[in-house]
Structure 1
Amino acid sequence: MIDRQHPLLIVTDLDGSLLDHHSYRWDAAQPWLERLRQQLIPLVICSSKTAAEIVPLQKQLGLSGSPFIAENGAVLQLNSEQRLQPHSGSLSYSALCQQISRLQTQFHFTPFHQLSDVEVSAVSGLTLAQAELARQREASEVLIWRDSEGAFAAFQQQLAAQNLSLLQGGRFWHILPADCSKQAALAQLLTTLSATAGGKLTTIGLGDGPNDATMLDSVDYAVVIKGYSKQPVELHRPDKDNIYFTAHYGPEGWSEGMDYFLTPDT
């Protein structure tokens, strides 16, 4: 049983978590989504997806107008009118792409901005319409690595020298400003929401990939959903009793984690 002295907030990854890794459906999580909506418990999406992808998904999930975190923390939507890029640099998406493209003289990789909607659809399993939204990036880039492991380490060093970081998602690698993360964006969002709520919020986070680790380390209760990434989700928090590892993937695991931390009459 979790501490319910403070208002509850759910923070969730999408792909491989609330959404099925293969079909992008959330049917198994629907009963919990209904329960949260009925009890007015807010659900914040915290994803590698773009804002262009998240907004229509919010509508389908019944979350329109709610805050969300996009592009692994490079974009923060506080409300329906206010969207931020909460990092100290002023690098535009086009400038970021130019910076990354220069590295193709040394390394073999394909960034999303060099792919068509058809090609993104083929490598991701998204529909053409969804692929178009996935390419509407604002502050980070996605790439498909095609080089050796040895080259990869050198590539990371080159990015770090340019104040850029590399994160592994469920399918692809993501490049974003070094001071961006899901954790940092969530901290900024919680400061705003706590002020509105008049005090601390109790948070439950759910995610399946290495790029969710910082977010899962920063919430009060963490659900690590069984995922397909070759790299495990490694958490560094000391309160192991507040971490739950699911036996199921995707929305089934998402619901399993919610069941674990919240009683049916929550």
Structure 2
Amino acid sequence: MPYLDDPLIIFTDLDGSLLDHHDYSWQPAQPWLDKLSAANIPLVLTTSKTPAEVAALQSALHLTHQPFIAENGAMIHLPPGWRTGDEVPFHINGAGYSEIRQTLVELRQRYDFEFRGFGDVTPNQVAVWTGLSEPEAELAMQREASEPLVWFGNDLDFAYLKKCLAREGLALTRGGRFWHVMAAGAGKGQAVQWLSERYQQKRGQPVISIGIGDGPNDLSMLEAVNYAVVIKGHHDHEMPLHRDDISHVFRTSEFGPQGWSQGLSHFIPVF
């Protein structure tokens, strides 16, 4: 069982996890956020959101000194204190946004696939899809290395879309609301492993990681960490984890930030 004075790192999903699925509030998790801050435990936001969205949230959560993982692991942001030499702030895994968009448009024209991505619609439509305000939707559309899709077609066409994307070095991952297209080698799990190694190098000792998430796109992260919190989700997708250490997996009975707090309380004793 990990303790607050152990070399911990927390990797957390946002929507439906730290943030409420409906109103995007994190207030029920504030007592635990305060405990982590007081213990100097890094909290790494690990999300499908864009860097522009995460930067705003990081500021509100007083986490700007920490790295973050954006666009489902397709991007990793390193704050100034983490960079060496001429290292750039963003580490991009695989294809960039313009390349992904071009591939999607060509495939849709060729095979008449029925989908719409953020690059096809207005901020107003993204706001309708997500429940965000229009200014927030505009931040969600500032994408760098992934494209969220709404699929309107049949299952057979969807299976063929997956095959076509694979031939182009791209893959689909399921989020809470959308399918996300990004480089085949990218993902939250790979990004978590990469950052965990960087933390270990900085600290000069092994680290203990806890991952918290609610959706299928969190599964690779939840398998890459030492302890996994699976938050009860507002969806009907299965959340299977292929781990032998069942005692290191906790499935909450609460949703969102309440479940987030429930998961940390399960694994970390507070005296």
SS at match of 1:152: helix
Counterpart of 1:215 in structure 2 is 221
4+ residue stretches of structure 1 with deviation over 2 A? 1-6, 80-87
2:244 corresponding residue in structure 1: 238
In the alignment, structure 1 residue 33 sits paired with structure 2 residue 33: yes
Amino acid at match of 1:99: T
* Count of residues in correspondence between the two structures: 263
Matching residue of 2:20 = 20
Query: Aligned pair 1:142/2:151, yes or no?
Result: no
Deviations 1:43-76 (A, max 9, x none): 0011000000001101111111210000011100
Q: Give the match for residue 132 of structure 2.
A: 126
**Alignment partner, residue 251 of structure 1:** 257
| Paired position in structure 2 for 1:95 | 99
**1:174-230 residue CA offsets vs partner (Å, 9 max, x unmatched):** 000000011111111111111111111101110000000000001000000000233
Query: How much identity, in percent, do the aligned residues show?
Result: 44
Between the aligned partners of 2:160 and 2:57, the Cα distance in structure 1 is: 37
- 8 A Cα contact 1:168 1:210, kept in partner: yes
Partners of 2:236 and 2:163 in 1: how far apart?
21
Please list every run of 5 or more consecutive structure 1 residues that lacks an aligned counterpart in the other structure. none
Matched, 1:8 2:14: no
* One-letter code aligned to 1:76: I
Partner in structure 2 of residue 173 of structure 1: 179
Query: In structure 2, what is the equivalent of residue 77 of structure 1?
Result: 77
The question of whether the paired residues in 1 share the 8 Å contact of 2:5 and 2:39 is answered with: no
Q: Which of residues 168, 192, 198 is equivalent to 2:204?
A: 198
What residue is the counterpart of 1:109 in the other structure? 115
How far is the alpha carbon of 1:150 from its aligned partner? 1.6
Matched with 1:45 is 45
Q: Could you tell me which amino acid in structure 2 is paired with residue 206 of structure 1?
A: I
Give the CA deviation at 1:168: 0.6
Aligned to 1:151: 157
Which structure 2 residue ranges, 5 or more long, are not aligned? none
* Cα distance between partner residues in 2 of 1:111 and 1:85: 24
* Matched-pair contact (CA < 8 Å) for 2:4–2:39: no
Equivalent residues of 2:92, 2:145 under 8 A apart: no
Question: Structure 1 residues 126, 75: closer, same or farther in 2, change over 3 A?
Answer: same
Q: C-alpha distance in 1, partners of 2:133/2:65? A: 24
Q: Which deviations, in whole Å up to 9, do the C-alpha atoms of 1:140-159 show, x marking residues without a partner?
A: 11111010112111111111
Q: CA deviation at 1:6?
A: 4.5
Return the letter of the residue paired with 1:136. Q
| TM-score, length-scaled by structure 1 | 0.95
- Normalization by structure 2: what TM-score? 0.93
User: What SS class does the counterpart of residue 159 from structure 2 fall into?
Assistant: helix
Contact 2:3–2:269, Cα closer than 8 Å, also in 1:
no
Question: 1:83 Cα deviation (Å)?
Answer: 2.6
